[in-house]
Amino acid sequence: MTGTVTFIVWVWGLVFLFAAIPGVAIGWVASAMLGYRRGIVVSVMISIGATIFAIQKGLPGSYLYLPPFLVAALLGVWIGRRTLRVRKWLPLVITVVLAAAYGRPLLLTYITNSEQDECSFGPVSNVQYRDYLRRARELSSKTPGSFSWNHLQATARFNELFERLIDGKHSVYERVAASHALLRSFGAQYRNTNDMRPDPYETVATKGGFMSFSYHLDVNRLGLGLFHPFLLFGRTTYISSNLTGPGDFYRGPVPSVVGDIRFSVNYPAFDTRPPDDRAPENCPLVPREALSERFSHTTR
């Protein structure tokens, strides 16, 4: 019984911590623009909707989210009633400022880093790469909101989309091009290959291991919503696209063979890691022709 009460208190506290600022802002704006009673109704409806959304996304303890959501929104309504003399346009100005602070970095993911789509990968031309990019956007648009907050499920989702995009092609050039196109379709920014170590393909070909392509992605591009639309900082998701090099890796719970590409997703956290260094090149590195067969996909 004590453990259950402790869990409930922790859930309420953490949810209120995230929901306090946006909840109060929503309640205040609703009260100022619609009136006290309508503000209460709007706050209740938004709180119920947010809770249902959390349950659908499978967030831990989501069935307990309604009380802290409602308290935050009603606190905003109460503040709105206490500040009736404040001009009606002030909540609108605050809303516009918050929307700009949230929307600007998200919008930038659609219009920046276009140079990272000018890539060619060995024999794979830029025209072929852009065909992968077009198909990747089509694939992701057919299942919007299909990502969850569980990073393992998000990893599995990227792996699934990649396998559908690459459609069984074995060439390492095709596979690196497709993985880059998939991540760029979500607005991810390429950072580096193997932490910018010298001669990465030669090293992996000799010693075995993996090629790792690092990316940064605004978490809001995955359509997760809920808390992070109101989170102005710490929104970077760290994604790695990992190419299996020569060697016997066909073991473990997720077996891997040469040429496999699998993804790793790390969502934003309070103990944020330092950003990955930005490499001078705009596109993931590919092996020279003499090494290409050693990194092309094999089957078991």
What DSSP string runs through 16-67?
Answer: HHHHHHHHHHHHHHHHHHH-HHHHHHHHHHHHHHHHHHHHHTT-TTGGG-HH
pLDDT on residue 184: 95
Verify that 22 and 145 share a domain, yes or no: no
Verify that 28 and 172 share a domain, yes or no: no
pLDDT on residue 179: 97
Longest dimension (CA), the chain: 75
Nearest to 42 by CA among 59, 26, 22, 53: 26
Instruction: Determine contact, residues 292/173, Cβ cutoff 8 Å.
Output: yes
- Domain final residue pick, 45, 69, 86: 86
Q: Work out the percent of the chain whose per-residue pLDDT is above 90.
A: 31
What is the per-residue pLDDT across 171-182, written as a single tens digit (0 to 9) for each?
Answer: 999 999 999 999
Nearest to 282 by CA among 114, 143, 125: 114
Half-sphere exposure of 109 (CA within 13 A, CB side): 23
Structural domain of 132: 113-295
Predicted confidence (pLDDT) at residue 117 exceeds the cutoff of 90: yes
Cβ neighbours for 117, distance < 8 A, ≥ 6 positions apart: 129, 130, 133, 184
Q: Return the higher-pLDDT residue of 124 and 61.
A: 124
Which band of pLDDT confidence, cut at 50, 70 and 90, is reported for residue 257?
confident
Angle between helices 89-111 and 2-34 (to 10 degrees): 110
What is the per-residue pLDDT across 188-247, written as a single tens digit (0 to 9) for each?
Answer: 999 999 988 888 999 998 888 889 999 999 887 887 654 454 455 667 889 999 999 887
- Is 99 within a domain? no
Nearest to 275 by CA among 212, 190, 211, 197: 190
Verify that 10 and 156 share a domain, yes or no: no
Task: Give start and end residues of each alpha helix (H) in the chain.
Answer: 2-34, 36-56, 66-82, 89-111, 126-142, 151-166, 172-184, 200-207, 289-295
Verify that 22 and 168 share a domain, yes or no: no
Cross-strand pairs, 124 = 121
Verify that 126 and 239 share a domain, yes or no: yes
Which band of pLDDT confidence, cut at 50, 70 and 90, is reported for residue 128?
very high
Cross-strand pairs, 262 = 242
Average pLDDT on 158-183 reads 94
Average pLDDT on 120-125 reads 95
Cβ neighbours for 297, distance < 8 A, ≥ 6 positions apart: 169, 170, 171, 172, 175, 257, 258, 259, 260
Verify that 274 and 220 share a domain, yes or no: yes
Q: Return the higher-pLDDT residue of 30 and 123.
A: 123
Min mean pLDDT across 78-87, 98-107, 207-216, 240-249 is at 78-87
Verify that 160 and 58 share a domain, yes or no: no
Q: Return the higher-pLDDT residue of 12 and 282.
A: 282
pLDDT on residue 92: 64
The alpha carbon of 189 is separated from its chain's Cα centroid by a whole number of angstroms, namely: 12
Verify that 68 and 146 share a domain, yes or no: no
Number of domains composing the chain: 2
Most confident of 42-51, 88-97, 220-229: 42-51
Predicted confidence (pLDDT) at residue 70 exceeds the cutoff of 60: yes
Query: In angstroms, rounded to a whole number, what is the distance separating the alpha carbons of residues 265 and 241?
Result: 9
pLDDT on residue 191: 94
Predicted confidence (pLDDT) at residue 159 exceeds the cutoff of 90: yes
Verify that 128 and 40 share a domain, yes or no: no
- Is 147 within a domain? yes
- Is 108 within a domain? no
Q: Return the higher-pLDDT residue of 259 and 24.
A: 259
Query: In angstroms, rounded to a whole number, what is the distance separating the alpha carbons of residues 182 and 162?
Result: 7
Verify that 192 and 261 share a domain, yes or no: yes
Q: Strand 210-218 to strand 261-266: parallel, antiparallel, or no bridges (unpaired)?
A: unpaired
Verify that 67 and 134 share a domain, yes or no: no
Query: In angstroms, rounded to a whole number, what is the distance separating the alpha carbons of residues 34 and 28?
Result: 10
pLDDT on residue 281: 94
Cα Rg of the chain, angstroms: 23
Verify that 273 and 182 share a domain, yes or no: yes
Predicted confidence (pLDDT) at residue 157 exceeds the cutoff of 80: yes
